[in-house]
């Protein structure tokens, strides 16, 4: 598949895991932040990512949000080279394959692996470009480092380690239990030449008294011959994007409050880009929870239907699970209803799929907005800037976000809710209206992700909701403080990692290689 390595003079470390969701992405973010603080030009790299939450780069490419966060930790602009291949599951057996930011094909696992040679060349080329631009690259693996049944088809773990000549840190999750089996078992399953590349272990998500695990550290070091570089305590209330998971138990246990803006996000089975709402959760006057059952929408001031990777299936779910009736009652009593991307399409009259991109056919929508959608190619993936046309929301408060969707939504007699004012990559180079809003202004939808990230729009929109409840407005300054949360949280996480991991070992491996 390849010969030699593509490392050149770049220094590379790879963070591999004993399994999925052990914390590799955040460990990479923290290391990137610490290296950047030392004045090094550092970039993240994950050859292949599987995620429903994605980010749009400045040139209109789609990558995993984890790599976008890691780039922010480095203080650099995210690019498609940082995540050459993104897999977005459409069903249990098929994924949409995004290569260098653009839709490649929808493939099952067998067909995907048949294209291994072609895809790995893309991976090599992307890494080579990063290696030529940065002093350090921090590689993130995927799943378990010991997927021995997939070794000959691997494109993200040991194949990339060999490509980049990286030294490896193995991360395990003690919170899920079985940490000794995780670490010792993983190392025992590695080939000798793979095992030789591992120079240390990190035990992540520790809870309790660290002193009680001192014997555990000793046992691990004796059994593996490797140093335990750190035992990282679980850091509560860390406000950094989680790639494809959130604390559902915590979300459902959250109680709405009468003097807050209560926001319920419908938990769709194939929900994507749920990170759209993280910033709302950071506002001091918002209570946000995800609605698993129709009854979870009760007492919500605002209900949001989010994006989806399979719009027709999730629309069908809303109808059969009884959400449509509760949504109707919510609107009738004066509640606000918002649709983002696929959620916007569901709020319309119908969605058609003439090319069978999802399941084919036509499905009646929820009929809250006078719009119809036809699923079609090519996929729209671009950054946009716009101004709000929503009544009661300050029009001078601009938004900047991004679109990721298949198909076109055509507005009937409904008014638009945004005016596109500029976009360097707008496909047809024309200004235009976007989204749709009901006559009373309380039901609206848009294809734009990330609009709540804009402090001006977010605060004006929240104050509109506050006015409906008879609450005084809150100053824009309070929302602007939320802007600094991401950078502050990246620093808090990096400080936490620096405190609990022997970073000097990692620095020495990079510097002395």
CB atoms within 10 A of CB 186: 22
CB atoms within 10 A of CB 181: 12
Question: What distance in Å separates the CA atoms of residue 276 and residue 339, rounded to the nearest whole number?
Answer: 12
Question: What distance in Å separates the CA atoms of residue 512 and residue 475, rounded to the nearest whole number?
Answer: 51
- C-beta of residue 22 within 8 angstroms of C-beta of residue 173: yes
Q: Do the strands 286-291 and 307-308 form a parallel or antiparallel pair, or are they unpaired?
A: unpaired
Which regions of 347-446 does DSSP assign to beta strands (E)? 350-353, 361-364, 371-388, 398-411, 418-422, 432-434, 436-437, 443-446
Describe the crossing of helices 24-37 and 65-74 by its angle, rounded to 10 degrees: 20
- C-beta of residue 120 within 8 angstroms of C-beta of residue 152: no
Question: What distance in Å separates the CA atoms of residue 54 and residue 51, rounded to the nearest whole number?
Answer: 7
Would you name the residues annotated as active-site residues?
341, 449
- C-beta of residue 239 within 8 angstroms of C-beta of residue 282: yes
CB atoms within 10 A of CB 365: 23
Q: How many residues does the chain have?
A: 513
């Amino acid at each position: 598949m390849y010969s030699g390595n593509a490392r050149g003079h770049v220094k590379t470390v790879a963070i591999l895991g004993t399994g999925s969701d052990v914390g590799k992405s955040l460990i990479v973010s923290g290391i990137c932040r610490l290296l950047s603080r030392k004045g090094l030009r550092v970039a993240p790299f994950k050859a292949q990512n599987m995620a429903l939450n994605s980010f749009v780069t400045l040139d209109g490419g789609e990558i995993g949000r984890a790599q976008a966060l890691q780039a922010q930790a480095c203080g650099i602009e995210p690019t498609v080279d940082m995540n050459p291949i993104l897999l977005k599951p459409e069903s249990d057996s098929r994924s949409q394959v995004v290569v260098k930011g653009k839709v490649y094909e929808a493939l099952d696992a067998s067909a995907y692996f048949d294209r291994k040679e072609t895809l790995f060349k893309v991976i090599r080329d992307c890494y080579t470009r990063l290696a030529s631009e940065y002093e350090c690259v921090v590689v993130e693996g995927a799943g378990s480092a010991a997927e021995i049944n997939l070794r000959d088809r691997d494109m993200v773990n040991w194949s990339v380690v060999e490509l980049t000549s990286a030294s490896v840190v193995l991360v395990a999750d003690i919170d899920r239990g079985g940490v000794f089996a995780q670490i010792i078992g993983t190392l025992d399953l590695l080939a000798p030449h793979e095992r030789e590349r591992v120079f240390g272990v990190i035990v992540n998500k520790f809870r309790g008294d660290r002193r009680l695990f001192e014997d555990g550290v000793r046992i691990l070091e004796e059994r593996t011959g490797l140093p335990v570089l750190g035992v990282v305590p679980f850091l509560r209330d860390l406000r950094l994007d989680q790639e494809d998971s959130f604390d559902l138990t915590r979300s459902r246990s959250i109680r709405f409050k009468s003097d807050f803006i209560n926001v319920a996000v419908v938990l769709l089975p194939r929900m994507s880009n749920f990170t759209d709402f993280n910033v709302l959760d950071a506002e001091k006057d918002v209570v946000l929870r995800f609605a698993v059952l129709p009854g979870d929408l009760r007492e919500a001031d605002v209900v949001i239907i989010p994006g989806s990777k399979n719009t027709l299936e999730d629309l069908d779910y809303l109808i059969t699970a009884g959400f449509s009736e509760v949504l109707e009652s919510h609107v009738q009593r004066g509640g606000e209803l918002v649709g983002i991307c696929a959620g916007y399409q569901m709020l319309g009259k119908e969605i058609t799929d003439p090319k069978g991109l999802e399941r084919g056919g036509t499905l009646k929508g929820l009929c809250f907005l006078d719009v119809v959608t036809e699923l079609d190619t090519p996929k729209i993936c671009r950054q946009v800037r716009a101004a709000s046309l929503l009544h009661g929301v300050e029009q001078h408060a601009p938004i900047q976000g991004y679109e990721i969707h298949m198909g076109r939504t055509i507005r009937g007699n409904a008014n638009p809710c945004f005016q596109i004012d500029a976009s360097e990559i707008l496909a047809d180079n024309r200004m235009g209206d976007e989204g749709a809003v009901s006559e009373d202004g309380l039901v609206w939808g848009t294809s734009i992700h990330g609009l709540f990230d804009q402090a001006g729009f977010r605060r004006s929109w929240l104050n509109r909701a506050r006015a409906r409840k008879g609450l005084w407005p809150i100053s824009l300054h309070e929302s602007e403080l939320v802007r600094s949360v991401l950078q502050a949280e990246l620093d808090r996480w990096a400080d936490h990692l620096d405190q609990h991991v022997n970073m000097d070992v990692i620095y020495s491996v990079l510097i002395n290689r």
